[in-house]
Structure 1
Amino acid sequence: MMKIRVVSSKDEINTLDPEEKIVHLAFRPSNQDIFSLVMRCPKIKAIHIPSSYIRTISSSARMYLKMQAIELLEGDVWGHRKDINEYYEISQRVFDHIKQYKSEGMPEVDLVEKLRRETKMSPELISFLAKNVS
């Protein structure tokens, strides 16, 4: 299982665990917010942002993330209720399916589409998970 920390406002960035690996920003982040997030969480590997906000990420912020080897992923965390849990959880079943499909030699594009239909997760997040599952 993997947990994605859901952050609802810039005020939460300073409260994050420095060990976070993936964070979903449920607000429109500024360049300063992204920089603060990376400074607060030096082990971060990906930032997940809703489609409506990702278009507003500046080219300088994108270049900074690329230089830091941090992926910027587009998508939502469907059905997640922040008032119940601050983490969106990806079940072990998703990782089991990724391993199974990879072992069967399924092309990544097919794997991503099949899991997108099954899980409602964004294609970019599924692709990121597939690349990081051994």
Structure 2
Amino acid sequence: MKIRVVSSRDEILSLNPNEKVIHLAFRPSNKDIFLLVETCPKLEIVQLPNSYQRTISKSMEMFLEMQKIQLLEGDVWGHRKDINEYYTVPPSVMSKIRNMKAEGVPNDKITEKIIRESKLNQKMIHYILNRKPLDL
């Protein structure tokens, strides 16, 4: 699974309209988020670092909720934007999730194990688990 990393507001207009998961590596204004939703109509998740997420207004949180877009806290540890504009969830993690799901392991147990073994947060793991089909 790929997460598109956006490091400045200048990049928003150049995004692919089919983007579903975006990590904003800058502190977005309400205007930036409106523009992001307009530019990427298929958007499902906006991920922000914890310190930035605390500054998002309640009205913006409600707007994203009404658009059925999840606002998640999280980082893309070790990602170098100058090398690739996407952060890729390691294939080993995706494979482990797929295998555990196929074995019938409950989602909460999968989440516990993946949190310990990767740098993904709980809500991102839930998003991955609930994707239909599990196109990992």
CA distance in 2, matches of 1:11, 1:3: 21
Residue in structure 1 matched with residue 124 of structure 2 by the alignment = 125
Q: Which moved more, 1:59-68 or 1:116-125?
A: 116-125
**Percent of aligned positions that are identical:** 55
Partner secondary structure for residue 24 of structure 1: strand
The count of aligned residue pairs is 133
TM-score scaled to structure 2, two decimals? 0.90
Determine if contact 1:75/1:124 at 8 Å carries over to the other structure: no
Residue 4 of structure 2 is aligned to residue 5 of structure 1: yes
Give RMSD over aligned pairs.
1.4
Structure 2 matches for 1:30-109, cutoff 5 A? Answer: 30-109=29-108
Deviation string for 1:7-27 (max 9, x for gaps)? 011111111111111100001
The correspondence of residues 18-33 of structure 1 with structure 2, limited to 5 A, is 18-33=17-32
User: Which 4+ residue blocks in structure 1 deviate beyond 3 angstroms?
Assistant: none
Structure 1 range deviating more: 22-31 or 118-127: 118-127
Residue ranges of structure 1 left out of the alignment (5+ in a row): none
Match of 1:113 in 2: 112
Per-residue deviation, 1:80 = 0.4
Offset at 1:41? 0.4
Unaligned runs of 5+ in 2: none
C-alpha displacement at 1:104, in angstroms? 3.2
For normalisation by structure 1, the TM-score amounts to 0.91
Compare 91-100 and 56-65 and name the one that shifted more: 91-100
Q: CA deviation at 1:127?
A: 1.4
Q: Distance in 2 between matches of 1:21 and 1:98?
A: 20
AA aligned opposite 2:2: K
